[in-house]
Amino acid sequence: MATPPRRLLITGATGFLGRHVLQALRADQPETRALALCRRRADWNRQPWTAPLDHVDVIEGGVTGPEGWTGDRRLKGCAGLVHLAAVVRHSRRDPADLYETNVDGTLRMVRLAAQLGCPMVFVSTSGTVGCFESPDEKADEDAPYVERTVGGWPYYDSKIRAERKARALAAQLGVPLTLVRPPILLGPGDHRLRSTGHVLKYLRGAYPFLIEGGMSFVDVRDAAPAILRALDHPARRPVYHLNGTDCGVVAFFELCRQVCGVRPPDYVLPFAIAHRLATAAERVAHLTGRKSPLPDPVVLEMGRHYWGLASLHAERELGFRARPPRQTLADTIDWLRRNTAV
Ligand SMILES: NC(=O)c1ccc[n+]([C@@H]2O[C@H](COP(=O)([O-])OP(=O)(O)OC[C@H]3O[C@@H](n4cnc5c(N)ncnc54)[C@H](OP(=O)(O)O)[C@@H]3O)[C@@H](O)[C@H]2O)c1
């Protein structure tokens, strides 16, 4: 009997990173099949970018909700689990689903990896360790969690909890677990317009002001293959950082201007004033059921901090290279212009 092809389970397959991980898999390991976990098969079928991915089989299910799909016979012999699924939302309002998905859902995936007897890569975020008051600090893979800084922001708090609990559970169940921490992902193909949403807002002139603070990003096309290599490395480490470009908020939008000519807002407001305005606007929006025209207060709190990541091992062990930031921004902007009403 012929040996079945190697298979990997990929959660979050319908997202921005999922799309690029699936494309990187096809480019780098054409013999490997992907089992893409999708909450709704119809969502997968509806996306034009999924059509050429003939190395993908869809498993309908979620990391929360009914678990019947974990008994799917195609999972038998699965060589690895790449866990990307998460709720990425930067607001303090109604975070229950965010914690359920990001923490409980991750623990479920550790249990599933134990059941399948396979290694797991969990994509977390640079923000669990790399958020600071000053632009001079950087977090490497051994850096402590920065929960005192990010603990009031549900998304980062959920990722710290998920990392801690997943590590403990994986150790208990004997699952080889690797955490990969990228900063903000930019690049072409963000069909949900979430990760690159702030670039889109800038292109649309929707930011009334900027604030002083920091920004850190990496190209999704550089992150995706490195994530797959982290799963396959014969002596994979517990943590890899995929660091790209750390810069100031004002410098980031100036770089965007140099790339595409669109002028960023002239006003750089002091954080305290910007935050007061955003908090008031968010309250009004909540009461009226409308969308606030200003960034969520949490986004401003994040934006006034500095995000710095250092990587000790990803270049050497995963072949990770961050491409020049101008190229990432040019390709992001070009894709947004071609695929949205900018
Ligand atoms: N984008 C960034 O800037 C960035 C930076 C650092 C780390 N990360 C991490 O990278 C991962 C992928 O991010 P992304 O940018 O690709 O996010 P995304 O585009 O928002 O996609 C999120 C994915 O998670 C899935 N998902 C959400 N809740 C789920 C549930 N209960 N069960 C199963 N799937 C669920 C979504 O599926 P549906 O289609 O069903 O909604 C979607 O496939 C996340 O873990 C994120 O924390 C992202």
Measured over the CA atoms of residue 98, residue 101, residue 107 and residue 109, the dihedral's sign is negative
CB 169 less than 6 A from any atom of ligand 1: no
154-173 vs 105-116: helix axis angle to the nearest 10? 20
Q: Which tokens belong to 9?
A: 């389970």
| CATH 3.40.50.720 is the classification of domain 7-187+216-244+307-322 | yes
CB 139 less than 6 A from any atom of ligand 1: no
Q: Which amino acid is at 131?
A: C
What's the pLDDT at 175?
98
Cβ pair 187, 220 in contact under 8 A: yes
Cβ pair 141, 240 in contact under 8 A: yes
Cβ pair 217, 287 in contact under 8 A: no
Q: Which amino acid is at 238?
A: P
Atom of ligand 1 nearest to the CA of 192: 19
| 123 Cα to the center of ligand 1, angstroms | 10
Tens place of pLDDT per residue across the chain (342 aa): 678 899 999 999 999 999 999 999 999 999 999 999 999 999 999 999 999 999 999 999 999 999 999 999 999 999 999 999 999 999 999 999 999 999 999 999 999 999 999 999 999 999 999 999 999 999 999 999 999 999 999 999 999 999 999 999 999 999 999 999 999 999 999 999 999 999 999 999 999 999 999 999 999 999 999 999 999 999 999 999 999 999 999 999 999 999 999 999 999 999 999 999 999 999 999 999 998 989 999 999 999 999 999 999 999 999 999 999 999 999 999 999 999 998
CB 184 less than 6 A from any atom of ligand 1: yes
CB 333 less than 6 A from any atom of ligand 1: no
Atom of ligand 1 nearest to the CA of 195: 1
State whether residue 265 is helix, strand or coil.
coil
> Could you tell me which residues come within 8 angstroms of residue 307 by beta carbon, excluding any fewer than 6 positions away?
126, 127, 130, 131, 132, 183, 214, 215, 216, 246
> Which DSSP state fits 105?
H
Closest to 221 (Cα-Cα) out of 128, 330, 135: 330
Residue at token pair 């008031």: 280
CB atoms within 10 A of CB 164: 14
CB 318 less than 6 A from any atom of ligand 1: no
Query: Per the confidence metrics, is the pTM higher than 0.95?
Result: yes
Longest dimension (CA), the chain: 70
Atom of ligand 1 nearest to the CA of 65: 31
CB 285 less than 6 A from any atom of ligand 1: no
Domain ranges of the chain: 7-187+216-244+307-322
CB atoms within 10 A of CB 29: 17
Measure the CA–CA gap between 68 and 82, rounded to whole angstroms: 19
Q: Which amino acid is at 143?
A: A
> Could you tell me which residues come within 8 angstroms of residue 73 by beta carbon, excluding any fewer than 6 positions away?
none
| 3 Cα to the center of ligand 1, angstroms | 32
- Specify the pairing of strand 239-241 against strand 177-181: parallel
What's the pLDDT at 3?
80
The residue contributing the CA closest to ligand 1 atom 5 is 184
The residue contributing the CA closest to ligand 1 atom 35 is 85
Closest to 239 (Cα-Cα) out of 107, 110, 122, 87: 122
